[in-house]
């Protein structure tokens, strides 16, 4: 009888152990799957613009690296590179939010023609403030992701002979162009992991004030993540 009881108990104990192992593996898989689902995604690439699902995203190429959160209505509107990352709302007024690690800027002569492309200055605030064809407001303190800097609104000067002005050249050969019918806010952070990051909020002047809080909500979610 003793041997018979042992024979009965062993399968029961083995079955209970297997059930516990399966349960534990399922729990771990569920936690891991949840963590993977909550992990920030890279911006999708393809035929731009590309609609973004609400959630958290992180930079892949841009220097310095960071993450941010978007709600409904945002799009990825350009190829991310080491010196630019831009998203937009689409629709009326072409509202955009662009992060720049500016490497090269255009210099203009007195006729309003681009004279040359030069290395971006260390003092980007001064560059904006003293640009001959930008009308800028006085800088005010600003903070993004815990990094302090300054911000100011600006427009393309009416003295500029063309409707659009080209300010930046990116590493992929594309350019940063601004139009006279638009209004912009520049936020310049001088020390993000040792780099100067220039953030631009831009939209047609008629919708700029409406777009500004939407862009600010994204900026409030920014976390500089390092290498």
Give the predicted TM-score (pTM) of the model: 0.82
Overall domain count for the chain: 2
Asked whether residue 94 falls in the same domain as residue 195, the answer is yes
Asked whether residue 125 falls in the same domain as residue 191, the answer is yes
Asked whether residue 12 falls in the same domain as residue 94, the answer is no
Asked whether residue 33 falls in the same domain as residue 84, the answer is no
Q: Is residue 11 part of a domain?
A: yes
Beta bridge partners of 161: none
Q: Is residue 23 part of a domain?
A: yes
Q: Is residue 100 part of a domain?
A: yes
pLDDT in tens, 171-224: 999 999 999 999 999 999 999 989 999 999 999 999 999 999 999 999 999 999
Element (H, E) at 16: helix 2-38
Query: 107 Cβ partners below 8 Å, 6+ apart?
Result: 114, 115, 116, 117, 118
Asked whether residue 142 falls in the same domain as residue 33, the answer is no
Q: Is residue 45 part of a domain?
A: no
Asked whether residue 126 falls in the same domain as residue 28, the answer is no
- The CATH number for 103's domain is 3.40.1000.10
Asked whether residue 117 falls in the same domain as residue 137, the answer is yes
Q: Residue 29 belongs to what domain range?
A: 1-39
Neighbours of 14 (CB within 10 A): 10
Q: Is residue 132 part of a domain?
A: yes
Neighbours of 226 (CB within 10 A): 9
Per DSSP (E only), the strands in the chain are 50-51, 55-58, 66-70, 75-76, 84-88, 96-100, 104-108, 114-119, 134-136, 140-144, 147-156, 164-169, 175-179, 182-192, 195-204, 223-224
Task: Give 22's pLDDT tier (boundaries 50, 70, 90).
Answer: very low
Among residues 55, 48, 141, 59, which one has the least CA distance to residue 96? Answer: 48
Asked whether residue 147 falls in the same domain as residue 96, the answer is yes
Asked whether residue 28 falls in the same domain as residue 61, the answer is no
pLDDT in tens, 163-172: 999 999 999 9
Q: Is residue 169 part of a domain?
A: yes
């Amino acid at each position: 009888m003793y041997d018979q009881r042992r024979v009965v108990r062993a399968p029961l104990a083995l079955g209970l152990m297997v059930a516990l192992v399966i349960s534990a593996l399922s729990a771990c898989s569920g936690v891991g799957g949840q963590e993977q689902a909550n992990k920030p995604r890279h911006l999708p690439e393809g035929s731009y613009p590309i609609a973004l699902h609400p959630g958290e995203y992180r930079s892949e190429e841009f220097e310095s690296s960071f993450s941010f959160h978007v709600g409904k209505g945002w799009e990825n509107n350009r190829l991310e590179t080491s010196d630019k990352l831009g998203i937009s709302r689409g629709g009326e007024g072409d509202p955009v939010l662009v992060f720049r690690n500016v490497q090269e800027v255009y210099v203009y002569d007195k006729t309003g023609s681009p004279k040359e492309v030069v290395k971006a200055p260390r003092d980007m605030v001064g560059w904006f403030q003293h640009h001959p064809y930008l009308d800028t407001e006085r800088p005010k303190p600003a903070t993004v992701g815990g990094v302090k800097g300054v911000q100011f609104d600006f427009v393309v000067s009416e003295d500029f002979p063309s409707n659009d002005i080209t300010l930046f050249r990116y590493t992929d050969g594309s350019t940063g162009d601004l139009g006279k019918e638009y209004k912009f806010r520049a936020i310049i952070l001088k020390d993000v992991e040792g780099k100067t990051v220039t953030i631009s909020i831009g939209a047609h002047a008629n919708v700029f004030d409406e777009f500004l809080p939407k862009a600010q909500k994204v900026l409030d979610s920014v976390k500089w993540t390092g290498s």
